[in-house]
């Protein structure tokens, strides 16, 4: 698996990371502990070294599992997101005392002396502008509890606020149908040599192109509340645009969506979220084996098709 620089951090990561939100059972329904272990082990054998988790996934259980399964794998790199307090309202907290306590809890769950990377988990722009949260992260790096820090952002405006605070790493939603945030931030990201981790690369499964227009989700699946039936029908109808990227060894919509992300040189790594080993193998195989992931002609054709089907990015 090809590796890329994580901005100016000095870290190089294989370009595909394992995300664990879906694997935790919080997002799409239950996953057995045995399957969680198999996916983590299989991901490592396939060359994945980056693992994305939040301290809130499975109430900390997913973080504990990664800590145990990766304990003897010194080249693994766990990206941990903090800032969620499910006992409070609102649930997002970014005061210094809470963040310091969360990091201590993460160290204990992962059974490590120092954390690889901690991201503030979807703070508001105001929370970042106050500086308390980012100062706490810098302090934790200085005291040796973290190697690296950054911010998982929910919009370009929040990304701007993170860059104003010199966040060395950003995580943001980025996919073939939604790349506006990175487009807005690109110039500053290049200037600051910021590492960029892409999440939601398949838009929660939508960009696989396998859903009928009237797809329904169980109540335990977060997608049941994400789109209205009309909106889902509209979105599935727009997926035809992805066919403009198919050709040569790009055989499916899913592959074209994955390679669209990897074709962007500003992406340090993309986060995939398989729930079993079969899905993991498919995603890794369809991501390709290196550049060029998509040629310029197909990318231009795709941009035109997006306009034709009414996608505004």
Q: What is the DSSP string of 264-308?
A: -TT-SEEEE--SSHHHHHHHHHHT-SSS-SS-HHHHHHHHHHHHH
**What tens-digit pLDDT sequence spans the chain (313 residues)?**
899 999 999 999 999 999 999 999 999 999 999 999 999 999 999 999 999 999 999 999 999 999 999 999 999 999 999 999 988 888 899 999 999 999 999 999 999 999 999 999 999 999 999 999 999 999 999 999 999 999 999 999 999 999 999 999 999 999 999 999 999 999 999 999 999 999 999 999 999 999 999 999 999 899 999 999 999 999 999 999 999 999 988 999 999 999 999 999 999 999 999 999 999 999 999 999 888 899 999 999 999 999 999 887 6
Task: Name residue, tokens 């500003």.
Answer: 266
Cis before residue 90, ω within 30 degrees of 0? yes
SS3 category, 102: helix
Q: How far apart are CA 218 and CA 276, in angstroms?
A: 18
Find out whether 179 and 313 touch, Cβ atoms under 8 Å.
Answer: yes
Listed by start position, the domains of the chain span 3-309
- Topology given in CATH for the domain delimited by 3-309: TIM Barrel (3.20.20)
Decide: 269 and 287 in contact? Cβ < 8 Å.
no
- pLDDT in the model for residue 86: 83
Question: 17: part of which helix (H) or strand (E)?
Answer: strand 16-19
146-152 and 12-14: which strand pairing? unpaired
pLDDT for 209 equals 94
- Are 113 and 67 in contact by the 8 Å Cβ rule? The answer is no
- Beta strand 146-152 with 169-173 is parallel
Q: Cα–Cα distance between 59 and 209 in angstroms, integer? A: 32
Residue 98 burial (CB count, 10 A): 17
């Amino acid at each position: 698996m090809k590796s890329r620089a994580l901005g100016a951090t000095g870290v190089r990561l294989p370009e595909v990371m394992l995300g664990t939100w879906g694997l935790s059972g919080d997002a799409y329904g239950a996953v057995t502990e045995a399957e969680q272990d198999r996916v983590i082990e299989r991901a490592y054998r396939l060359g994945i070294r980056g693992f994305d988790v939040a301290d809130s996934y499975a109430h900390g259980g997913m973080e504990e599992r990664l800590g145990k399964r990766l304990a003897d794998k010194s080249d693994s790199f766990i990206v941990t997101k903090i800032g969620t307090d499910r006992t409070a309202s609102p649930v997002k907290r970014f005061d210094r005392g809470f963040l310091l306590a969360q990091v201590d809890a993460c160290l204990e769950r992962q059974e490590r002396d120092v954390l690889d990377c901690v991201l503030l988990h979807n703070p508001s722009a105001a929370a970042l502008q106050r500086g308390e949260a980012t100062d706490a992260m810098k302090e934790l790096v200085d005291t040796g509890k973290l190697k690296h820090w950054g911010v998982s952002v929910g919009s370009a405006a929040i990304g701007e606020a993170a860059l104003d605070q010199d966040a060395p790493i950003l995580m943001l939603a980025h996919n073939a149908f939604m790349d506006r945030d990175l487009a807005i931030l690109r110039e500053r990201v290049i200037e600051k040599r910021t590492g960029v981790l892409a999440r939601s690369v398949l838009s929660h499964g939508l960009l696989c192109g396998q859903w009928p227009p009237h797809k329904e989700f169980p109540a335990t699946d977060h997608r049941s509340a994400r789109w209205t039936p009309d909106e889902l029908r509209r979105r599935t109808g727009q997926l035809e645009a992805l066919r403009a990227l198919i050709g040569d060894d790009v055989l499916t919509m899913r592959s074209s969506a994955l390679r669209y992300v990897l074709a962007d040189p500003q992406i340090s790594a993309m986060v995939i979220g398989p729930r079993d080993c079969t899905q993991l193998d498919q995603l890794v195989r369809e991501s390709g084996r290196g550049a060029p992931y998509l040629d310029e002609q197909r990318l231009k054709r795709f941009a035109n098709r997006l306009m034709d089907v009414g996608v505004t990015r």
